[in-house]
A and B are shown apart, each in its own frame.
Chain A
Amino acid sequence: MSTKHIVTIEIGTIQTRALLGTLSSEMDGGIVVKAIAEAKTAGVRKSEVQSAQSVSTTVESVIEKLAKKSRTDINRINIVYSGGNLAGTSIFGKARIHNPNEVVEEEDMETAIETMRETPTISGRTTVEEMKINCVLDGIRVVEDPCNLSASELTVNGIRTHVDTNSCRAVVDAVEDAGYDADTVFTAACCAPLGCTTLGQRRNGVLVIDLGAGTTSWSVSRNDRITAVGHLAVGGDHVTNDILCAFHTGTEESAAVLKHDYGQATLEGIDPTTRVDVPIHIGKKMTVNLKALTTVINARMDETIRIIHEELETKNLLENLGAGIVLCGGAALLKNLPALVTAVFNGMPCCTGTLPSLNLPEIEDDPARIRYATLYGALLRAAHNETEKEDVMHSGFSLLRLFKRSGDHR
């Protein structure tokens, strides 16, 4: 029985987190999470590296903690990336079916995929992932698996996620400067659905919005495949900044605690006379009006969600979302946020996602455990990549049929 350790790290704007999982040949591609570690991030703003040295130090500290907890030597790390103005582009490839029976064969699939991958990249951008969405026969019939079906032409539709090259490179360099090999880069938008939704939700069509501290990313999944992704460089950090700016709470920490303890996304049920204490204000005692605090938060969240709604509406992505909207990430914990999202999306149901049990005592009872969803999703994807290497026939998560490993960031 062979055992492999897989590590994923998410260098967030506020916190850097890492997960270590063990993959055993006996577990049929399954992964057991062994340890988690986290530390406050230094040198990152809006998910972009501001100080390479500080980020390296943070990575080193988190991975050392993880190694200590799991009693494992760690050399290779998978990275979850949420900056670099992530964007998704539709790509496709075609193949003429030349065999006498006009039946699609594996070879034709490979040709179509190869053509799809040849779609030129945008200057200054780096491809992170390329994923299949569906196959179309003769431009009409959409099929799951085209092999052995008769047709004269095969089209493979896919999505390519890409990021700003230099921004992404800065993260990879920071990990390597900390003394570790950067293995694969995943985008947060493509990892979040695996960490916080069920297979049923992904099959029925779901919009996952990952509200991080520095950025907000979203992805639409249908038939268990990601069909669109997007990104907005606004996150929980902006809410904190708005509070700090409005009430002069003195420190970022006090504004953040005010947001966590009293913040909510809608003004419903707020007593306009209620005042709340600013928790760690330096100097004299201070209180703020709860309605004013909520107005500041509501304005920011409403704007963020509306921008996403507008983008999805423009791209005609709001149809066939049978499972509605699922929120994850630290900012998803804001009280009443699902209600606000439902209101902005004209009544579409919304809930906060659920992270499966990871059997880690330190986070098992944590009400804010949804913030680990993206990291866990990345661990599942990395595990899938590993099993795919050993056994190419293993299907794993159909969502993760990557045609190309995302190692071309250098």
Chain B
Amino acid sequence: MNETAFVLVGIGGAGGKIVNTVAETNASGMRAVAIDTDFTAVARLGFCQQIRIGSTRFGGLGSGGDRNGAAMAFDETHATDTIFNDAQVAVVVAGISRGTGAGVLPKILRNAAKRNVKTIVFMVTPFSFEGIALTRRAAEVEQTLAGLGDIRMVCRNEDLCPLADDNTLKDAFDQATRTLADGITLIWKMTGLPGYINIDFATLATIIVNGRGMCNLGVGIGTGPTRVKEATEALLGTTGIGLGNKLNGAQAALVGIIGGDDLRLTEVADVMARIGSALSMETPIRMGTVLDPTIGSALHLVVLLFREWHPLSEADAEENEEDTAKDTESRKAIRYVAPSHQKTSSARRKIYNNRFQHSAATWVNGENLDRPTFLRRKLHIDVT
């Protein structure tokens, strides 16, 4: 396993804590980095490489909600230059309602893009009880991040930990952290551990390019003889990080099945049949299996649902290849080639990206008007 190919970056208090939880349960084979302006908080993250920023600006006490200050603090710290060395895929986690996460996240994503590192971004938004001001701020930050990162997921704390009467505040935050950490761990396992139907880093990178934009994460866990039923029901349900009502309108799905040595072929087929029947017939599904002896009799499912899907055509892939100097030969072998009927949308996406990519996007009523209207309205255009 190439340890450096997958890097996990946590920004700010929330991001750091989640990343540390992932690293704690997967101490080997993963590089985890936590960046924070609060030196006391970051010091507790013992399983991560700790990067402290803004010592002169904030004195190690946190950014106090100063997003711009945190962004500047990041620029002033050269310790962040090496984060993406040798990396192919980065999972970046940040709370986007407060200063450090909101300020540093765009910087990190630009930095990754410059180095051609594919990014999966988890943007954690606050509980509603934290106040409307924070929720609004998170929504604003989410909009400003529209053009950044390869695939982005907004994770509402309430989805990660549904409010219940018997939950203490500590329980609520801990559960939210654990749930998201589980999801990230499964993505890592899917690419990092051996399996018979493999999704390696390069394949994941290609899938990330195809599914660029917003996506949803679903996780389901089951144990014992009924583990398939339990795991798929949790995955397709509406609690936890179940996909529930997000299944409608999914353009593609990536399914990871993680089991112990006793994982049976019929179970894999059963999982795929259940997930397949919940999605539209036309939705392309890409799958991978992973064998992880440490999970015993459990079955873990992780699904990434893509809201947009723009598969690379061969021509685009050639260009992509020019941009990507490393691992050229291995990429040729595993490149995902789109079915012919999907090639047009790939070209559309590419042209649209190139034309307005250096301009600030025009957002009105939550829509990016730089995207062609007929695509947003899903109008049928006879292009024959």
Contact = CB atoms under 8 A, between A and B. Distances in A.
B375 interface: yes
Nearest to A47: B359
Main secondary structure of the interface of B (DSSP, over half): loop
A218 B368 CA distance: 20
B383 A247 contact: yes
Contacts of A45: 355-356, 358-359
A246 B372 contact: yes
B347 to A, nearest CB: 6
Contact of A307 (B347, B364, B384): B364
Contact of A303 (B373, B382, B384): B373
B381 A246 contact: yes
Interface stretch (A14-22, A199-207, A287-295): A287-295
A242 interface: yes
A48 B360 CA distance: 9
A248 interface: yes
A244 B375 CA distance: 13
Given A242-B374, A245-B372, A295 B364 contact: no
A296 interface: yes
Given A46-B359, A238-B370, A248 B344 contact: yes
Interface residues of B, number: 25
Interface string A280-324: 000000001101100110011011000100000000000000000
B381 A292 contact: yes
Contacts of B362: 46, 232-234
Contacts of B377: 299
B61 interface: no
A359 interface: no
Contacts of A248: 344, 347-348, 351, 383
Given A45-B356, A46-B359, A246-B348, A300 B372 contact: yes
A50 B355 CA distance: 12
Contacts of B374: 242, 246, 295-296, 299-300
A241 interface: yes
Given A245-B351, A248-B347, A48 B372 contact: no
Interface in A262-290: 288-289
Given A45-B356, A245-B348, A248-B344, A291 B382 contact: yes
Contacts of B372: 238, 241-242, 245-246, 296, 300
B379 interface: yes
B369 interface: yes
A52 to B, nearest CB: 13
Nearest to A303: B373
Nearest to B375: A245
Interface string A3-26: 000000000000000000000000
A372 B77 CA distance: 50
A302 B373 CA distance: 10
A244 B356 contact: no
A238 B344 contact: no
A92 to B, nearest CB: 29
Contacts of A238: 369-370, 372
Contacts of A232: 362, 364, 369
B381 A296 contact: yes
B252 to A, nearest CB: 20
Contacts of B369: 232-234, 238, 303
Contact of B359 (A48, A244, A246, A288): A48
Nearest to A248: B347
Nearest to B369: A234
A50 B359 contact: yes
A362 to B, nearest CB: 31
Nearest to A244: B351
A331 to B, nearest CB: 14
Interface of B: 344, 347-348, 351-352, 355-356, 358-360, 362, 364-365, 369-370, 372-375, 377, 379, 381-384
21 contacts: A45-B355, A45-B359, A46-B360, A46-B362, A237-B355, A238-B369, A238-B370, A241-B356, A242-B372, A245-B375, A246-B383, A248-B344, A288-B383, A289-B384, A291-B382, A292-B383, A295-B379, A296-B372, A296-B374, A303-B369, A307-B364
Given A46-B362, A232-B369, A242-B373, 19 more contacts: A45-B355, A45-B358, A46-B356, A46-B360, A48-B359, A50-B358, A50-B359, A233-B360, A234-B362, A237-B355, A242-B372, A244-B351, A245-B348, A245-B352, A246-B348, A248-B383, A291-B382, A295-B381, A300-B373
